[in-house]
A and B are shown apart, each in its own frame.
Chain A
Amino acid sequence: MIFSKKFVNEYIDIKDKNIKELAEEMTRVGNEYDEVGPLVNATKLVIGEVVECSLHPESDHLHITKINVGNEILDIVCGAPNMRNGIKVIVALPGAILPGGTIKESTIRGAKSNGMCCSLAELGLDKKFLTEKDINGIHELPLDAPVGEDVIKYLELDDEIINFELTSNRSDLLSVLGLAYEVGAIYNLKVKEPTSNYKEVEDNFKDNMTLSVETEASQVFLLGNATDVKITQSPSFIKNKLIASGIRPINNVVDISNYVMLETGQPLHFYDADKVGNCLKVRVSKEGETLITLDNQERILTNDDIVICNKEKIIGLAGVMGGLDTEVTEDTKNILIESAQFDKTLVRRTSKRILRSEASSRFEKGIDVKRTYLAMERSKCLLEKYASAKISKDTIIYDKSDKEEKTVEITLNKINSVLGMNLTLNIVEDVFDRLGFASEVKNETFHVNIPSRRLDINIEEDLIEEVGRIYGVENVEAHLPVVPSTPGYIDKYLRDIKIRLSSLGLNEVISYSLVSENNINKIPSDKETIKVKEPLIEEKSILRQSLIPSLMEIYDYNKARNNKNVSIFEIGETFYKENDKYIQKDKLGILMSGLYINGVNNMIETDFYYIKGIIENLLNYLGYSKRYDFEILDTIKILHPYQSAQIIVNGQNIGFLGRIHPNIYKENVYICELDLTKLKEIKVGAIKHKEISKYPSIKKDLSFIFDKEVLSKDIIKDIKNCSSKILNSVNVYDEYKLNGTRSLTFTLTFLDEKETLTEEVVMKDFNKVIDTITTKYNAKLKNM
C-alpha cells in the first residue's frame, strides 16, 4: 500500500510531519516500508515560455530556442518534435537533478544550451501513467501557466510517499482512512471522516431492477444508480492522488471508483447500466463457464468462483475483475454502482488462480461493512460532483451481515503480565483513546469497543499487542525467564561424527534434499521415491534417497574450478515412502579424490584403503571395534566392480564404499555411504577399563606366498581358528605382489594372561598355523 501524504492529509493534519520520521514511526508500530521520499525525485524545475525557436543549422531535428524562465532568458537546444515558439514548457535549470542525471550548461553542435526542456517521463513518473506523447515529446503546460514558478508544485505533484509492506492481518491499512487512523494513534491526532452530500433524484430505479443473491458467499450487496454521467478527464487532485498511489488515471468515472477504493478500502465496480439490463444475480460459478474480463482475456471458471450475472450471462468475476461486455466506456451514459462483500477465501482462491488485483487483495483480507456503505455514498457524491451524474434516490440493499458490536474485555493485570511491564490504568486508557477504541474501566477490567474497521482485533492478546505497539515495545525491559534451569537435553551423535570426520581432514558440505530424476537414478533403490507436486524446476523435484549423487555434483563443481583435491562428507536426511509412511533416514556420505596426505616427497593420493581407514576410524570411535566387517560387493553399477565393498556392522548391512567406475571418472574417486539411522540402533556398551597383562607378549612374523586370489581377512580367521587362546592378535604387516603371486606378512602376537610364555609353547601354535595355511591355500612359506 502506498501512503500519499497529500491524500492522508485530507483526513488528518500531517502537513508539518517529516515524511521520513513518519515512516520510522510507522515502522516502530509495526508497519514496515520499502521506500520513502518525494513522489517526483527532481529539483530545479521551472515553468518556461518559448520566446524564440529556430532549427539548428547543423542538425535535422534539433531546435535552438530562447526560453523565458522569469528572471532570465535561457539559450536551450531541444530535440523534441513538438518544440515551437509560444508554448509553455518544463525547464530543468542548470544544476537540476533528474532521475536520469544532472543538467549542466553545455554546447550542442556549436550551440550553447543552458538547461533542458523536459517530458513528463524525464521527471521519473512511471511509464504506466504516461501516454505516448508524454514519453516522446516535451510536456506542454497550459498557456496561462505562470512563468518562473516551480513546476512540481504547479502540477500538484509535490507529494511525498511511503511504500508500505503491510502484514496480512491489517486489512484496515489498505485504505487511506485506515492509514489516517494509524497515524492518529501515533501522534494523538483526530481523524475527520469524509462526508457525502449529493442531491437524490426520485426515479423508478428500484422498480426496474431486480437483485438476487443466491450464495452465502456474498453477505452484503449494495446497488446504486447514477444517470446522465459525462465522461471526461478527472480533476487533477484525483488524478494526482491516483498517480501517487500507483494507479493509472483513465477517466473521471473509473477514477472515482479507484479513488473511493483507496479512500475507504472498499473496492467498487461500475457497470454500464444500459449493457446490464434490468436484472443482476450473484452466484457461484459452475465448472467450465467462461467470461471475458476487462483485460480482454477469456477466463475459464471452476465451481468455486463468485460471479455476477445478468439475465443472459456472467458479467463479472466478483472481487477480482469486471467483464468486458458491461465495461464503462467513453459512450457510457448510465451507471450501476456495486459496493459489496465477498467471501475472502473464495476470492483468494480465484485471484490466486486468475489474477491478483487491487480489488482482490482487499477482498481476500476482509472489509468493514460500514465501509461498504460509506463507499456507496462517497461514490455517489463524487459522481455528482465530478461526472455531473444524477443520483437515484434508492439503493438496492441486500445485507445479511452480523451487526453486533465487538467488545473485548481485558484486565490490566493480564496486559502487564504478558508484556512484562507495569503500566497504569491511565496509560492503557490513553492508548485505547489514541486508537479510537471506546473503553470503559470497571474493577481494573477494560471493556473495549472495537471499531468495525479493526477486523484484526478479536481477543485479549490482540489488545495486548495494540498496547505494546502504541505505548512502545522498546519500553519493555529485557530479562531472562525465571524457570528452574538445568541444562537441556541434546543428542550430539551426529555432531560428534561431524567433528571426528573434519578432524580426519574432510570438509563438511551441505547440499539440497530436492534433486532431479537423473540424480536419483545414479544409485538405484527399490524404495518408493517421494516427489513434490508442483516443483519449481525438474532439477529439484524428488527427495533424495542417497547423498552420493549430490556429492558427485559438488565434486564436479570443484573439479571445474580446478579444485582437484576434494575430500568431503555430508550428513543429511534421505527420504522414501514405505507402506504409505514417509520415512526419513540420516545418512553419511563421503567422497575423496586427489591428495590426502601432504608433505615434501610425501604427497599421497587417496586410495581405497584411506577411505576405508576413515570408516574404520569412525566405527572404532563409535565403539564398534571388532564388530564390523567388509564384504565383496558388485551390485552398485557406478562402482568399480573389484574395488568396492559392503560395510557390515554387527551382521547388518549399513553401507558401502568403493571407487567410482572408470566409465564415470577416469581419475580415482572414492565414495562411501553409511546409514546412520540404522547404525545408531546398533547398541554400544559404555567404555570399560580392561586390566593390562603383567606378562610380556611374544611377537612372531610369518610370510606366505599365494598364487591365487585370497582375502587377508579369511586367512586371519583361519590363523585364529587353528591357534590356541594364547594367540592374542593377528595383523597384516606387509603386502607384496610379484609375477602374479602375492605375498602377505602377518604379525602374530602371543600372550598369556596368567604366566610368562615360553618359546616352546608359542612354537607349537606357530607351526600349526604354518601347516594349516600352507595346506589350505596351497601357499608357500617365505623365508624370513
Chain B
Amino acid sequence: MKKKLEDLLNFAVSEIENVETENDMNLIKSKYLGKNSEFTNIMKEMSGLSIEEKKEIGLLTNEFRTSFTECFEKKLNEIKTEALNKRLENERIDISLPGKGIKTGSLHPLTHIRMVLEDLFVSMGYDVVEGPQVETDDYCFEKLNIPKDHPARDMQDTFYITEEMLLRSQTSSVQVRTMLANKEKTPIKMICPGKVYRKDDDDATHSHQFMQMEGLVVDKNISLADLKGTLLKLARALLGENTNIRFRPSYFGFTEPSYEVDVTCFKCGGKGCPLCKNIGWIEILGSGMVHPNVLKMCGYDPKIYTGFAFGVGIERLAMFKYGITDLRNFYTNDVRFLDNFSRKDVK
C-alpha cells in the first residue's frame, strides 16, 4: 500500500511537470484526486482494515494529499503567472509617445519680474499701490519739485493730452497721491509698479512705453543707509546673493541728495566685459532722499520727516536677468519668445 501511494505520487509529480495549461491542470486534479481516481479507491479500501492499519495508511494518504497539492498549486501558480505576463506583454505601449493635454501657458517676463519685486517688498512691509496712467502735470511734475520749464523735464519728454493732462512719464505720481491721501500723515512704505510713457523712438534699448516700479518710505529718521540697505536687498533678491551695489551722486528734481545705483555686472561679476563696457558696473536704478519741497507739498513736515525714494525699469531688469538684448521682444510677443517663460524660475 505504501509503495502504491509512493508510486502514485511520483507519477503525478512527473505528469504535473509537463502540463502547460490551466485546463490540463484541472484534468490532472480529477485524475489523481477525483471520484474514480486510484487514490479514492485506496481510501475506499481502507474501510476493511484494522485500526492500526487505518492509522498507518491514514498518515500515508494525508502525506500523499499534502505533497500532491503542494506540487499542484506551485505549478498552477506558475502557469497563471505566465499567462498574465503574456497578456501584459500584449498590452505593451510606446512610452516615448508624447503626453496628451493642453500646452503649458506662460506669464509675460515683465510679470515675472514684477511679481518677484512685489513679493519681496510686501514681505518687508511695503504696500503695493497703483494709480492712473492719464495723470495731471501737477502730480507728475509740479508736486515732485519739477516745475514747468525746468531743465530736468528734458530727461523725460512727455506725451501731453492737454496743457494739464499727460501720460505719466514716471510712477512717482502715485507716491504724491499716496502722501496726499494719507490725512493723518502717518509713516509710508509703498511701491508703485506700472506702465509709464516717454516720447522715445522704439529701438533695442528704448521704448515709448515701459514698466517701472518706484518705491517710497517716509518716516522719522530715515537715512541714506536705509536706502542703501533696501536697494542691496532688491538687487540681491533679483540678481543673486553675490551682487553688490554702487551709489553715484546724480540729480533728479524730487530727491536731494540723488543717486544713480549700479549693480555688479552679472555677466562678468565685476571684472569688466563688453556688457558693462569694461567698468564692471551696470546702472539699474535711480534713487535718493525725498526732497524737502516734495514732502512739504505733499503735507509732510520736512523738519520731522525724512524719506527715500527709488525707481527701477522692469524691462531693464528683465533684460539683464534673462539675457535679452532687444527690448522690443517684450512688446512684439512672439509666442516662441513667450514660451521661454512658461516655467518656474530658480533664484
Contacts and interface: CB of A to CB of B under 8 A. Distances in A.
A476 B167 CA distance: 37
B250 interface: yes
Contacts of B98: 598-600
A535 interface: yes
Given A461-B257, A561-B334, A365 B151 contact: yes
A312 to B, nearest CB: 32
A486 B127 CA distance: 10
Given A509-B338, A513-B133, A461 B292 contact: yes
A145 B230 CA distance: 62
A701 interface: no
A596 interface: yes
A306 interface: no
B331 A461 contact: no
Interface residues of A, number: 91
A460 B126 CA distance: 29
A469 B128 CA distance: 32
A597 interface: yes
A582 B246 CA distance: 41
A783 interface: no
B19 interface: no
B332 interface: yes
B257 A464 contact: yes
A753 B189 CA distance: 52
Nearest to A356: B154
Nearest to B125: A485
A536 to B, nearest CB: 6
Contact of B223 (A348, A420, A558): A420
Interface stretch (B38-46, B81-89, B155-163): B155-163
B102 A505 contact: yes
Interface residues of B, number: 88
A533 interface: yes
Contacts of A558: 333-335
Interface string A456-499: 00011110110011000110111111011111111100010011
Interface string B88-129: 000000000111111111111011000100100111111110
A364 B151 contact: yes
B208 interface: yes
A168 B161 contact: no
A575 B162 CA distance: 15
A84 interface: no
B325 to A, nearest CB: 18
B226 A479 contact: yes
B31 interface: no
A600 B93 CA distance: 13
Contacts of A596: 102-103
Given A461-B291, A489-B128, A532-B159, A511 B333 contact: yes
B249 A30 contact: yes
B217 interface: yes
A504 interface: yes
A479 B231 CA distance: 10
A530 interface: yes
Nearest to B246: A474
A465 B225 contact: no
B105 A507 contact: yes
Interface in A591-631: 595-600, 602
A584 interface: yes
Interface in A523-561: 530-536, 540, 543, 554, 557-558, 561
B223 A508 contact: no
B219 A483 contact: yes
Given A473-B249, A483-B217, A563 B122 contact: no
Interface string B193-214: 0010101010000001101000
A498 B133 CA distance: 21
Contact of B123 (A29, A487, A505, A510): A487
Nearest to A462: B256
B168 to A, nearest CB: 11
A254 B119 CA distance: 61
Nearest to B159: A532
B229 A168 contact: no
A645 interface: no
A481 B217 contact: yes
Contacts of B102: 504-505, 596-598
Nearest to A499: B107
A418 B289 contact: yes
A483 B115 contact: no
B333 A509 contact: yes
A510 B339 contact: no
B224 A486 contact: no
B107 A502 contact: yes
Contacts of B155: 168
A485 B107 contact: no
A550 B223 CA distance: 45
A190 to B, nearest CB: 23
A514 B161 CA distance: 12
Given A364-B151, A465-B257, A535 B159 contact: yes
A598 B161 contact: no
Contact of B257 (A28, A469, A557): A469
Contacts of B258: 465
B221 interface: yes
A344 B148 CA distance: 12
Contacts of A168: 150-152, 154-155, 251
B238 interface: no
Contacts of A481: 217, 219, 222, 226, 229-230
Contact of B336 (A345, A531, A563, A597): A563
A419 interface: yes
B87 to A, nearest CB: 24
B128 A488 contact: yes
Given A417-B221, A481-B219, A510-B331, A488 B126 contact: yes
Contacts of A518: none
A64 to B, nearest CB: 43
Contacts of A506: 105
Nearest to A614: B102
B319 interface: no
Given A365-B151, A498-B107, A600-B98, A417 B335 contact: no
A503 interface: yes
Given A509-B333, A599-B99, A477 B225 contact: yes
A510 to B, nearest CB: 5
A459 to B, nearest CB: 7
Contacts of A417: 221, 223, 306
A599 B101 CA distance: 7
Interface stretch (A565-573, A652-660, A661-669): A565-573
Interface string B316-344: 00000000000000111111101100100
Contact of B106 (A480, A508, A566): A508
A242 to B, nearest CB: 25
Interface centre among A478, A536, A597 (most CB of B within 10 A): A478
Interface of B: 97-108, 110-111, 115, 118, 121-128, 132-134, 149-152, 154-155, 159-162, 165, 167, 187, 189-190, 195, 197, 199, 201, 208-209, 211, 217, 219, 221-226, 228-233, 246-251, 256-260, 289, 291-292, 306, 330-336, 338-339, 342
14 contacts: A32-B260, A168-B150, A365-B151, A420-B226, A465-B256, A483-B217, A487-B122, A489-B127, A490-B122, A509-B108, A514-B167, A514-B209, A530-B161, A563-B336
Interface of A: 27-30, 32, 167-170, 344-345, 348-349, 364-365, 417-421, 459-462, 464-465, 468-469, 473-474, 476-481, 483-491, 495, 498-499, 501-514, 530-536, 540, 543, 554, 557-558, 561, 563, 565-568, 573, 575, 582, 584, 595-600, 602
Given A502-B342, A512-B208, A543-B134, 8 more contacts: A168-B152, A476-B225, A480-B229, A480-B233, A488-B124, A508-B338, A510-B211, A558-B335
Q: Which 7 A-B pairs have the closest CB atoms?
A: A420-B225, A30-B249, A599-B100, A420-B223, A465-B257, A167-B251, A505-B102
